[in-house]
Amino acid sequence: MKKVLFITYHFPPVGGGGVQRPTKFIKHLPTFGWIPHVLTVKEPYEFYSDKSLLGDVGPEAVIHRTPSIEPMRWVRKLLKRRWEEAMQAPVAQRELTRTSIKPGFLVRIKELLLVPDNEMLWFPFAVPVGLRVIRRVKPDVIYSTAPPYTSHLIALSLSLVSGLPWVADFRDQWVDRPNFPLNRWRQFLDRKLERTALGRTVRVVTVTRPIADAYQKLYPGLNCTVITNGYDESDFSRVKGAVPEKGEFRITHTGIFNRERNPQKFFLAVRQLVDSHDDFKNNVRLKFVGQLDNPGDLENYQEFLRLGLQEYGGPVSYQDHLTSIDEMRRATVLLLLIGEYPMNERVMTGKIFEYVRAGRPILAVVPPDGAAAGVIMETNSGIVVRNDSVDDIARGILELYEMHRDGTLDQRFRSTNFERYERKRLTSRLAEVLTEAAAGSGGR
């Protein structure tokens, strides 16, 4: 059995979308001859916990948890408390003018000082522990996944000191991402860090082909492999009995909206249909499993209230992973949304593959020529509508509703050709990449 030092900040019992990819890789790597030694953090500052994900971590994996200094933990705890208090107030008493309760000066200080991200003070704890693990277990290769990009700086340092080959996994781009701080100092510094890090890797893994192409254009000669996100068949085998409720047209979204991925045009489209189609008005239900905004922000929820859509459903609190899959299976239609921002055609959210596997028709509010639209079309999983047009979104919703009303919805969309996205198959590809990197092949 070969050994990989697997560096990831997001790891159970942390919940949320970012934890799925590393956890499923760690689950399946032993099947393909790799023992993961996981370097992670003891107490991350993330909001969400999902202890059920610990069941995916097999006995073969060796976990090394380190301390860290989390400068944003107390800020986020304060924001979470204030945000929950705002959400608990009666609707009529909620303030509908403020778009955020985040202290603006703290946001600016954070962007200037916490480079490359909020987790930078994990670095001085993780590197010494990583070196001890390397000396003791002698791994064959280092693997790190980001965000946060501090994980890559830890891997860079460990690779430089130990001489071990390093494979870097990018779930999102480092600098060219929609929420990158808008100041020249960060642009200069982070680009320099990105260039230095990528110059040390022997292989780069990305979640989409457009991200790989962008990096290869920026850094010619970079050896990139695309390993998408996916779904775990064992998760779906545990929610077999979940089916849609009869007599309603339920549109469900799982996950968290934010400023970059905001649902306000979708809200407007629903309001438009409610006002113009009594049949739709009497049958539509909305269910958002997660939140409408990042904690501290309020603008999406305010728009939801302003349009009076709470009468037709709304958000429920964060749920564990299996409950989210259960909710997918109970939906009439699943909502997939990618926001309006530069280079959004490269984005392919992790949940798209679980949506496809759930077997429910998908309303994909995404760039029509982007990576996400390509998956929807190749798997016959739903319809694609423009994410920048309220009228186009309304047309798509109405088209799916009329199929539902006529009893043809499920026959029209039957997901196919999705097995390539099963997590175990994807992990076999990662194992090949690790083997090639450890053998010294496939580098620059």
62 and 200 assigned to the same domain: yes
The span from the CA of 127 to the CA of 144, in Å, is: 13
Tokens 């076999």 locate to 428
Q: What's the pLDDT score for residue 183?
A: 83
Assigned domain for 444 exists:
no
User: CA-based Rg of the chain, rounded to a whole angstrom?
Assistant: 22
The span from the CA of 373 to the CA of 318, in Å, is: 27
Range of 254's domain? 237-420
Q: What's the pLDDT score for residue 43?
A: 81
17 and 162 assigned to the same domain: yes
CATH value at residue 290: 3.40.50.2000
The span from the CA of 229 to the CA of 199, in Å, is: 25
Residue-by-residue pLDDT tens, the chain, 444 positions: 999 999 999 999 988 888 999 999 999 999 999 999 999 999 877 667 888 899 999 999 999 999 999 877 777 777 767 666 666 655 544 555 556 666 666 667 777 888 999 899 999 999 999 999 999 999 999 999 999 999 999 999 999 999 999 999 999 999 998 888 878 889 999 999 999 999 999 999 999 999 999 999 999 999 999 999 999 999 998 887 778 888 899 999 999 898 888 999 999 999 999 999 999 999 999 999 988 887 777 889 889 999 999 999 988 888 899 999 999 999 999 999 998 888 888 888 889 999 999 999 999 999 999 999 999 999 999 999 999 999 999 999 999 999 999 999 998 998 888 999 999 999 999 999 999 999 985 444
Assigned domain for 47 exists:
yes
Assigned domain for 39 exists:
yes
Assigned domain for 370 exists:
yes
Model-level pTM? Answer: 0.91
11 and 89 assigned to the same domain: no
Name the residue type at position 387: N
Assigned domain for 112 exists:
no
210 and 354 assigned to the same domain: no
Of 84, 105, 126, the one marking the end of a domain is 105
The span from the CA of 328 to the CA of 326, in Å, is: 5
295 and 404 assigned to the same domain: yes
Q: What's the pLDDT score for residue 240?
A: 76
Number of domains comprising the chain: 3
Reduced to 3 DSSP states, what percent helix, strand and coil does the chain have, rounded to the nearest 5?
50, 15, 35
DSSP symbols for 132-149 = HHHHHH--SEEEEEESST
Assigned domain for 110 exists:
no
Assigned domain for 111 exists:
no
358 and 327 assigned to the same domain: yes
273 and 144 assigned to the same domain: no
The closest of 347, 328, 327, 329 to 337, measured between CA atoms, is: 347
Q: What's the pLDDT score for residue 88?
A: 64
Contact 103, 125 (CB under 8 A): no
359 and 280 assigned to the same domain: yes
249 and 363 assigned to the same domain: yes
145 and 198 assigned to the same domain: yes
Contact 162, 131 (CB under 8 A): yes
Assigned domain for 196 exists:
yes
44 and 181 assigned to the same domain: yes
Q: What's the pLDDT score for residue 93?
A: 46
222 and 245 assigned to the same domain: no
The span from the CA of 27 to the CA of 35, in Å, is: 10
